[in-house]
Amino acid sequence: NSSYLLLAIETSCDETSVAVVRDGRNVLSNIISSQIDTHRQFGGVVPEIASRKHVESITIIVEEAIREADISLENIDAVAVTQGPGLIGALLVGVVAAKSLSLALDVPLIGTHHIAGHIYANHLIGDIVYPALALVVSGGHTELVLLEQEGKFRIIGRTRDDAVGEAYDKVARALQFPYPGGPYVDKLAQEATEEVVLPRSWLEPDSYDFSFSGLKSAVLAEINRSRMKGESPDFSALARGFQNSVIDVVTVKAMKAAKEFGVKQMLLCGGVAANKGLRERLASLCGDVGLPLLIPTNKLCTDNAAMIAAAADLKWRRGEFSTLDLKAEPILSL
Ligand code: KG4
Ligand code: ZN
């Protein structure tokens, strides 16, 4: 149980991130290099460009993480990396870098699941109490995950079409915001004085699944309707309507699942967990029933390597190491 240093790498999408974490929880550095300025002009992440950018930055970001942690590379005891899911070319860069470091330093390699990372970002800000329920809301994922015990994940609900973040980004584009537009929609919704009430997609009464593509279409239809009438659409009222519909559905389903499975804690995570409206609503609903809630800081919500270190720490403590034939997996179950 002596102190150990973990270097973690995350390159599953458009952030090149490297972190140095002591004993699985003490973040010494968490460098995030975003490629978003490059991808923005294309209105989304271009996989081929993402891979090339990761190649350009990975060694520089490793050096920066080491420098900021004020350690030397030789002090690293293990290397963790996001194995999947994500963009295959992007994942490969991180996996190859991690293997090289593991080989050169002769330390264990730990392949990690991206969503386990988002969930265990919560372990960096507080103690997780089991059973816990994680509401995972990101650009690529929308899932309700039951954690009966540490490191044991059971998906009880997932999106059947768009992920929440994806829906936010598509709506943001219709509202003429740059990519990724989630934060702009959030801000506009907060400022709005009017609301265009939009449908809520509850699906079957006993289902914990989600669907957001109909809601996204409803926003687009409203915009078209206004334009057909020669009026200019009320973007802020639409942003508020969209945000309220999303928040209602995800929080009501999360609270219902929390009750049904008798969890002792709620965990919110993923990029959309940075959403102010969602954070506030979930905090208030959990407060009403006395259910403890953890939400990572905004930096730990969006893609970052410290969260990968937090998830890898579970495997370190169990001695579950990967071998050098670790494969990057674009599709990987939790
Ligand atoms: O977890 P993440 O960094 O990447 C994935 O693994 O997908 O999530 C990024 C997503 C984007 O869709 C972005 O628009 C959304 O999170 N996002 C937000 C907010 N901040 C980031 N969506 C709504 N409100 C926000 N404040
Ligand atoms: Zn993510």
Q: Which atom of ligand 1 is nearest to the CA of 141?
A: 7
pLDDT at 252 over 60: yes
Q: What is the mean pLDDT of residues 207-226?
A: 97
Q: What is the pLDDT of residues 120-136, one digit of tens each?
A: 999 999 999 999 999 99
* Residue 161 pLDDT: 97
CB 211 within 8 A of CB 300: no
Q: CB of 51 closer than 6 A to ligand 1? A: no
Sketch out the chain's domains with CATH numbers. 5-119+301-318 (3.30.420.40), 128-295 (3.30.420.40)
Return the residue matching tokens 């709506």: 171
ipTM of this model? 0.98
Percentage with pLDDT > 90 across the chain = 98
Q: CB of 157 closer than 6 A to ligand 1? A: no
Calculate the alpha carbon distances from 30 to 61, 139, 186 in Å.
Answer: 10, 21, 25
* Residue 2 pLDDT: 73
Q: What is the mean pLDDT of the chain?
A: 97
Comparing CA positions, the residue from 300, 287, 283 lying closest to residue 119 is 300
* Residue 133 pLDDT: 98
Q: What is the mean pLDDT of residues 237-248?
A: 98
Tell me the CA–centroid distance for residue 273 and ligand 1, in Å: 8
pLDDT at 1 over 60: no
For the stretch 183-188, contacts whose Cβ atoms lie closer than 8 Å and that sit 24 or more positions apart, written own/partner, are 183/274, 185/239, 185/242, 185/243, 186/243, 186/274, 186/275, 186/276, 186/277, 188/235, 188/236, 188/239, 188/240
What is the number of the ligand closest to the CA of 166? 1
Span between the terminal Cα atoms of the chain, in Å: 27
What is the number of the ligand closest to the CA of 171? 1
Do you find a cis peptide bond into 131, omega within 30 degrees of 0?
yes
Q: What angle do CA 328, 66, 296 make, to 5 degrees?
A: 70
Tell me the CA–centroid distance for residue 56 and ligand 1, in Å: 24
pLDDT at 263 over 80: yes
Q: Which atom of ligand 1 is nearest to the CA of 164?
A: 12
Report the distance separating Cα 290 and Cα 259, nearest Å.
12
Q: What is the pLDDT of residues 70-104, one digit of tens each?
A: 999 999 999 999 999 999 999 999 999 999 999 99
Comparing CA positions, the residue from 175, 157, 6 lying closest to residue 81 is 6
* Residue 104 pLDDT: 98
The residues that bridge with 153 in the sheet, in sequence order, are 147
241 CB-side CA count, 13 A: 22
pLDDT at 301 over 60: yes
Percentage with pLDDT > 70 across the chain = 100
| pLDDT band at 224; cut points 50, 70, 90 | very high
Q: CB of 210 closer than 6 A to ligand 1? A: no
Q: What is the pLDDT of residues 230-239, one digit of tens each?
A: 999 999 999 9
Q: What is the pLDDT of residues 144-172, one digit of tens each?
A: 999 999 999 999 999 999 999 999 999 99
| pLDDT band at 55; cut points 50, 70, 90 | very high
